[in-house]
């Protein structure tokens, strides 16, 4: 009989307010307004590891969570359209996903990069999207058609900024989009790309070092470099290649107060203020002077120059102004932690501006700053205020330890300075208590109290119901590394770096009530015994029956003592590095240890023999925990108590069979080392240095080891295949790529490079297309032969067709191939066609000829034909047998496109007619009719 195990799947993720590897944006809910102004303070769209969260800034509640089950990569960049309906998210695996904010759903997945996305930008209408990556490439996407337009190559380092601009003035009524794209990279260059020809038309040296940020608001562009330098550029609306006028020209530099590496530049909605920040806690606001202020400044300087008699400067107004005169420092905002990104919020009135900041300590803040016109005096320094702060729903530092209560419905987690209690079912934070630099914790007294061990050597006792600190005991002289409650619940043991294990009795004492003569009962910890050892204590554990105490030391050994007399029992040695955690099975027969040497060892407590040493993880194993049996829910019988979980610095959680010494399941999800682990009746809770707490629940689908091994082998094969394809693409790009100074070849490569790249999904789609072409070609030949023979023998019966075509309703082979191609995602068609063998390309062109002749899906047919001719032009031209077929394709496609053009023109004319009729029927012209004035009449009195 094949043995089965319980399967655990990801169920919940909470504790993350905002992750650090991406920017954050804001959007305003315009539907919620009152007469006095907007009710909501706005919504923050922030990254949460692999998810995207939308927070109500005022209420501090999660409005939506954007999650893709097929994505495990972390979000690295977010951009939105001007209409705020669609958001683009870039991920660390190089993919881009478009999310619909109205329905909180995923619209499309775009694959065009191999490395993390570092820059995203929509054009004005939101039709095109530009993505930049660490692979130095820029991909231009058509969001509506879900395809790549071009791959722009030219930078030699990571892309750091992208902005669509329009050097020519664009009217909103025309609906035209941007014509140029500006890009910056760590190579210190700023490039201007002509989107009509996908060509780099200008290259400037932005900074002497790396260029890290880009922002634009017509007619200005600002870039940020190292050493606090901001450079101001002007867009020329009358730029002309024939007159060799540059699209952008430098106006000078402005220095920030902070010298840290810049991260974000952002103009507010009206373009009057610019926010800039680095890797520290400060956000500097700059004010862009208006044209009226600049003219006044020019007049003052001309007047001063006239007095000095400098006639040369009087002739040139531009020489008397630099970037520091146009962009002036306004105020510096200090946040509570290092700032990761900033964004501007809509203001309810014109007397203030609001700034949103995502901090690196897993929190959000909003600031209110008065505008310059609202100040009493021109030279006054504005006073900013913190409007809202969101900190409680997550830890502000890495999670170090966690434990479930006895009922397994509340999870307690500790970090540096915080103790938080979480509802496992809902994922909400119930309590937040201030504590020391915690290292371990333990529930006690029927889950009414929690003991926290700190690095300062103290034991802090908290009352859960009152949410208060009851007592703080100076327990050890060194770091308290481990705590464990005795199974009888009357005492607790603590191990420390001072080479001692101390035992504490839980007692009650009388505490006087302040201001009265009464006393009240208070729980306290009283030391009862001390066990002195030869080295630092790292972990301690009581056996479930309370008879044994296991202690791991810094000398890589585990000492086992009798818990009642503290006499030595066993010494377990074999690890090459110290044991970081351990656990004892429910039957008191097996001890499992996890070590920094990446191994997990199983020991028998009868004789101290090592049953098995398992190379469990690729990094230090931090936590290990046996699965407890609760009733008869387990699938593996009486030995389920020997199954255990382990977590490591390699970000993985593994489920093991302690009797067969085999890996059952691997749980991936954390993006940093996993430092907290506890097992419930039907779920597992983990916490890590990514500040997330994840719940893995038992599913009804059992685990079979053979199937899991096959899945792991398939995953390894797919990873190797994608790595091989990535290396092949890198070599091809290096072979075709230009030199650093060869701008002409560089532009040619940019305009002809394919935007997408091969993925596992595109390979699967290519296999489906190839299979359908084989079936369709054989069936097409069969049916043509049948039609010829039927002319001579009218009574001839229909031949036996392919079973798939018969199962699909006896459809035609050309219709089956078309349906297969239609089933491929629009963003993956080109990548799927690229890996097809050339003989399949010839077959596909034959089917495209049939589709064009029948008028089936002309848009898709035209796209396939154009793509094949563009990428396989040399092979197709060299094949003489394809000339007749190409002539047929040209004739049929031209007729089909003419029909589509006539139909489109007819529909457009009808729409214009309907529009004209609606205008005549729905619009009434009003004219002011003046009545003739009446003379004032007076009564005649006789």
Provide DSSP, 19-53.
-SSS--EEE--TTSB-SSSBSS--EEEEEETTEEE
What is the pLDDT at residue 840?
Answer: 87
Q: Could you read off the pLDDT of 703-723 as tens digits, one per residue?
A: 998 888 888 888 777 777 767
What pLDDT band is residue 611 in, cutting at 50, 70 and 90?
A: very high
Most confident of 302-311, 408-417, 749-758, 883-892: 408-417
- What's the rounded Cα separation, in Å, for the pair 49 and 52? 8
What is the pLDDT at residue 533?
Answer: 95
Q: Give me the DSSP letters along 359-371.
A: ETTTEEEEEEEE-
Residues 471 and 435 sit within 8 Å (Cβ to Cβ): no
What is the pLDDT at residue 11?
Answer: 93
Structure-model confidence comparison of residues 936 and 800, the more confident one: 800
CA dihedral 509, 515, 517, 522 (to 10 degrees): -10
Q: Which region holds residue 192: left if phi is over 0, alpha if psi is between -120 and 50, else beta?
A: beta
Radius of gyration of the chain (CA): 35
What pLDDT band is residue 238 in, cutting at 50, 70 and 90?
A: low
* 489 DSSP assignment: S
- What's the rounded Cα separation, in Å, for the pair 497 and 478? 5
311-320, 445-454, 613-622, 765-774: least confident range: 311-320
What is the pLDDT at residue 395?
Answer: 95
Residues 6+ apart with CB under 8 A from 447: 405, 406, 407, 410, 464
425-439, 555-569, 755-769, 800-814: least confident range: 755-769
Q: In the beta sheet, which residues pair with residue 579?
A: 595
CA 851 centroid distance within chain = 41
Which tokens is 475 given?
């327990």
Average pLDDT over residues 450-456: 95
Average pLDDT over residues 319-326: 75
What is the pLDDT at residue 1?
Answer: 62
Residues 899 and 855 sit within 8 Å (Cβ to Cβ): yes
- What's the rounded Cα separation, in Å, for the pair 188 and 740? 13
CA atoms within 13 A of residue 227's CA, in its CB half-sphere: 7
- What's the rounded Cα separation, in Å, for the pair 247 and 744? 19
Q: Could you read off the pLDDT of 894-914 as tens digits, one per residue?
A: 998 999 899 999 999 999 999
What is the pLDDT at residue 617?
Answer: 95
Return the SS3 of 135.
coil
- What's the rounded Cα separation, in Å, for the pair 616 and 649? 12
CA dihedral 627, 628, 634, 639 (to 10 degrees): 80
E strands, 758-836, in order:
none
Return the SS3 of 168.
coil
Burial class (CB in 10 A: 0-12, 13-18, 19+), 378: exposed
Say yes or no to pLDDT of 942 above 60.
no
What is the pLDDT at residue 283?
Answer: 94
Return the SS3 of 397.
coil
What is the pLDDT at residue 755?
Answer: 59
Return the SS3 of 724.
helix
- What's the rounded Cα separation, in Å, for the pair 867 and 142? 15
Share of the chain above pLDDT 90, in %: 53
C-alpha torsion sign, points 2, 6, 8, 9 = positive
What pLDDT band is residue 477 in, cutting at 50, 70 and 90?
A: very high
- What's the rounded Cα separation, in Å, for the pair 780 and 124? 48
* 349 DSSP assignment: S
Say yes or no to pLDDT of 634 above 50.
no
E strands, 338-394, in order:
339-345, 352-359, 363-370, 385-390
Say yes or no to pLDDT of 14 above 80.
yes
Q: In the beta sheet, which residues pair with residue 282?
A: 334
Say yes or no to pLDDT of 643 above 90.
yes
Residues 6+ apart with CB under 8 A from 539: 481, 482, 495, 551, 552, 579, 580, 581, 582
- What's the rounded Cα separation, in Å, for the pair 725 and 731? 10
CA-to-CA separations, 78 to 22, 87, 341, 690, in angstroms, rounded: 7, 7, 11, 19
CA dihedral 845, 850, 856, 857 (to 10 degrees): 10
Residue with tokens 């209560």: 405
Say yes or no to pLDDT of 639 above 50.
no
Closest CA to 270 of 358, 373, 184: 373
Residues 685 and 647 sit within 8 Å (Cβ to Cβ): no
Q: In the beta sheet, which residues pair with residue 698?
A: 8
Say yes or no to pLDDT of 591 above 90.
yes
Closest CA to 284 of 357, 190, 194: 357
474-488, 673-687, 842-856: least confident range: 842-856
Instruction: For strands 128-133 and 138-142, give the pairing.
Output: antiparallel
C-alpha torsion sign, points 183, 189, 190, 192 = negative
Instruction: For strands 189-194 and 199-205, give the pairing.
Output: antiparallel
Please provide residue 511's backbone torsions phi and psi, each rounded to the nearest 5 degrees.
-115, 125
What pLDDT band is residue 886 in, cutting at 50, 70 and 90?
A: confident
Average pLDDT over residues 360-385: 87
String of b and e for 864-890 (b: at least 16 CB within 10 Å)?
bbebbeebbeeebeeeeebeebbebbe
What is the pLDDT at residue 682?
Answer: 92
Q: How many CB atoms lie within 10 A of CB 115?
A: 16
What is the pLDDT at residue 577?
Answer: 96
Residues 6+ apart with CB under 8 A from 543: 487, 549, 550, 563, 584, 588, 605
Closest CA to 142 of 110, 102, 190, 104: 110
- What's the rounded Cα separation, in Å, for the pair 435 and 400? 13
Average pLDDT over residues 65-69: 93
* 179 DSSP assignment: -
What is the pLDDT at residue 924?
Answer: 56
CA dihedral 26, 30, 35, 40 (to 10 degrees): -40
Residues 25 and 343 sit within 8 Å (Cβ to Cβ): yes
- What's the rounded Cα separation, in Å, for the pair 225 and 276? 11
| Average of per-residue pLDDT values in the chain | 86
What pLDDT band is residue 310 in, cutting at 50, 70 and 90?
A: low
49-63, 306-320, 552-566, 871-885: least confident range: 306-320
Residues 57 and 42 sit within 8 Å (Cβ to Cβ): yes
Closest CA to 130 of 101, 110, 102, 106: 110
Strand order, beta sheet including 643-648: 621-626, 643-648, 652-657, 662-668
Q: Could you read off the pLDDT of 722-757 as tens digits, one per residue?
A: 677 666 665 655 555 443 333 333 333 443 455 566
Say yes or no to pLDDT of 371 above 70.
yes
What is the pLDDT at residue 174?
Answer: 38
What is the pLDDT at residue 311?
Answer: 56
- What's the rounded Cα separation, in Å, for the pair 797 and 812? 17
Average pLDDT over residues 98-111: 90
pTM summary value:
0.84
* 187 DSSP assignment: T
Query: Can the peptide bond before residue 219 be classed as cis, meaning omega within 30 degrees of 0?
Result: yes
What is the pLDDT at residue 147?
Answer: 85
Average pLDDT over residues 513-531: 87
Average pLDDT over residues 799-823: 88
Average pLDDT over residues 563-590: 94
Residues 6+ apart with CB under 8 A from 574: 601, 610, 613
Average pLDDT over residues 669-681: 95
Residues 276 and 286 sit within 8 Å (Cβ to Cβ): yes
Say yes or no to pLDDT of 280 above 80.
yes
Please provide residue 726's backbone torsions phi and psi, each rounded to the nearest 5 degrees.
-65, -45
Residues 191 and 155 sit within 8 Å (Cβ to Cβ): yes
Residues 221 and 215 sit within 8 Å (Cβ to Cβ): yes
What is the pLDDT at residue 637?
Answer: 42
Average pLDDT over residues 166-172: 53
Residues 310 and 319 sit within 8 Å (Cβ to Cβ): no
CA 464 centroid distance within chain = 35
Share of the chain above pLDDT 70, in %: 88
Burial class (CB in 10 A: 0-12, 13-18, 19+), 108: buried
């Amino acid at each position: 009989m094949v043995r089965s195990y319980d399967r655990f799947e990801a169920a919940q993720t909470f504790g993350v307010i905002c992750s650090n590897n991406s920017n954050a944006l804001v959007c305003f809910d315009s539907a919620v307004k009152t007469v006095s102004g907007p009710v909501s303070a706005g919504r923050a769209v922030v990254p949460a590891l692999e998810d995207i969260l939308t927070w109500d800034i005022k209420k501090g509640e999660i409005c939506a969570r954007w999650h893709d089950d097929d994505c495990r990569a972390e979000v690295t960049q977010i951009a939105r359209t001007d209409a705020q309906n669609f958001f683009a998210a870039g991920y660390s695996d190089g993919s881009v996903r478009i999310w619909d904010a109205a329905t909180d759903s995923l619209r499309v997945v775009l694959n065009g990069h191999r490395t993390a996305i570092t820059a995203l930008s929509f054009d004005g209408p939101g039709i095109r999207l530009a993505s930049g990556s660490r692979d130095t490439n820029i991909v231009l996407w058509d969001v509506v058609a879900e395809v790549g337009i071009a791959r722009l190559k030219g930078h030699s380092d990571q892309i750091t900024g992208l902005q669509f601009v329009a050097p020519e003035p664009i009217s909103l009524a025309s609906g035209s989009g941007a014509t140029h794209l500006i890009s910056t990279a760590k190579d210190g260059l700023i490039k201007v790309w002509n989107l009509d020809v996908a060509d780099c038309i200008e290259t400037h040296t932005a900074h002497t070092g790396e260029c890290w940020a880009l922002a634009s608001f017509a007619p200005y562009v600002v870039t940020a470099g190292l050493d606090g330098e901001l450079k101001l550029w002007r867009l020329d609306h009358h730029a002309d290649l024939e007159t060799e006028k540059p699209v952008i020209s430098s106006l000078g530099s402005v220095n920030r107060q902070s010298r840290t590496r810049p991260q974000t530049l952002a103009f507010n909605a009206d373009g009057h203020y610019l926010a800039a920040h680095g890797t520290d806690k400060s956000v500097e606001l700059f004010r862009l002077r208006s044209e009226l202020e600049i003219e006044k400044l020019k007049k003052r300087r001309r007047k001063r120059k006239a007095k000095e008699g400098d006639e040369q400067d009087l002739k040139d107004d531009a020489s008397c102004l630099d970037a520091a005169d146009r962009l002036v420092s306004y105020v510096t905002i200090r946040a509570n932690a290092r700032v990761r990104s900033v964004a501007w919020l809509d203001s309810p009135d014109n007397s203030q501006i609001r700034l949103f900041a995502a901090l690196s300590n897993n929190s959000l803040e909003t600031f209110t700053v008065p505008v310059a016109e609202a100040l009493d005096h021109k030279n006054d320094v504005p006073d900013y205020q913190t409007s809202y702060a969101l900190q409680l729903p997550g830890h502000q530092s890495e999670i170090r330890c966690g434990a479930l209560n006895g009922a397994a419905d509340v999870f307690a987690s500790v970090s540096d300075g915080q103790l938080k209690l979480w509802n496992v079912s809902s994922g909400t934070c119930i309590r937040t208590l201030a504590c020391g630099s915690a290292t371990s914790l333990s529930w006690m007294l029927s889950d009414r109290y929690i003991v926290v061990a700190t690095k300062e050597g103290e034991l802090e006792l908290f009352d859960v119901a009152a949410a208060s600190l009851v007592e703080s005991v100076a327990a050890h002289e060194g770091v308290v590394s481990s705590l464990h409650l005795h199974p009888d619940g009357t005492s607790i043991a603590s191990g420390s770096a001072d080479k001692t294990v101390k035992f504490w009795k839980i007692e009650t004492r009388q505490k006087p009530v302040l201001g009265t003569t009464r006393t009240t009962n208070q729980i306290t910890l009283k030391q009862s015994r001390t066990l002195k050892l030869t080295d630092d204590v790292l972990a301690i554990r009581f056996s479930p029956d309370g008879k044994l105490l296991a202690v791991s030391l810094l000398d890589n050994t585990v000492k086992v003592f009798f818990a009642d007399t503290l006499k030595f029992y066993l010494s377990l040695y074999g690890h090459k590095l110290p044991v970081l955690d351990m656990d004892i099975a429910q039957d008191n027969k097996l001890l499992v240890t996890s070590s920094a040497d990446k191994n997990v060892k199983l020991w028998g407590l009868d004789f101290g023999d090592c049953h098995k040493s398992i190379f469990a993880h690729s990094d230090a194993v931090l936590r290990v925990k046996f699965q407890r049996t609760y009733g008869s829910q387990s699938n593996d019988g009486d030995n389920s108590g020997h199954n255990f979980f382990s977590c490591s610095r390699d970000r993985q959680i593994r489920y093991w069979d302690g009797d067969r010494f085999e890996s059952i399941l691997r749980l991936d999800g954390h993006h940093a080392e996993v430092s907290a682990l506890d097992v419930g009746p039907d779920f597992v809770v983990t916490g890590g240095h990514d500040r997330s707490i994840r719940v893995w629940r038992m599913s009804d689908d059992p685990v079979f080891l053979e199937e899991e091994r096959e899945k792991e082998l398939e995953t390894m094969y797919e990873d190797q295949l994608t790595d091989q394809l990535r290396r092949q693409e890198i070599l091809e790009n290096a072979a075709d790529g230009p030199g650093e100074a060869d701008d002409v070849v560089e532009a040619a490569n940019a305009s002809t490079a394919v935007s997408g790249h091969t993925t596992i999904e595109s390979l699967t789609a290519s296999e489906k297309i190839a299979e359908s072409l084989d079936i369709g070609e054989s069936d097409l030949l069969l049916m043509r032969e049948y039609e010829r023979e039927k002319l001579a023998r009218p009574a001839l019966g229909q031949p036996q067709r392919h079973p798939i075509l018969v199962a699909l309703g006896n459809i035609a082979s050309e219709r089956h191939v078309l349906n297969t191609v239609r089933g491929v995602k629009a963003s993956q068609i080109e990548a799927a066609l690229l890996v097809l063998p050339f003989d399949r390309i010839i077959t596909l062109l034959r089917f495209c000829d049939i589709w064009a002749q029948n008028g089936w899906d002309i848009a898709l047919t035209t796209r396939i034909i154009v793509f094949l001719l563009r990428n396989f032009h040399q092979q197709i031209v060299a094949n003489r047998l394809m000339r007749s077929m190409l002539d047929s394709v040209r004739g049929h496609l031209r007729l089909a496109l003419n029909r589509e053009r006539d139909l489109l023109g007819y529909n457009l004319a009808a729409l214009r007619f309907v529009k004209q009729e609606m205008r005549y029927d729905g619009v009434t012209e009003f004219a002011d009719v003046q009545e003739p004035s009446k003379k004032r009449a007076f009564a005649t009195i006789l």
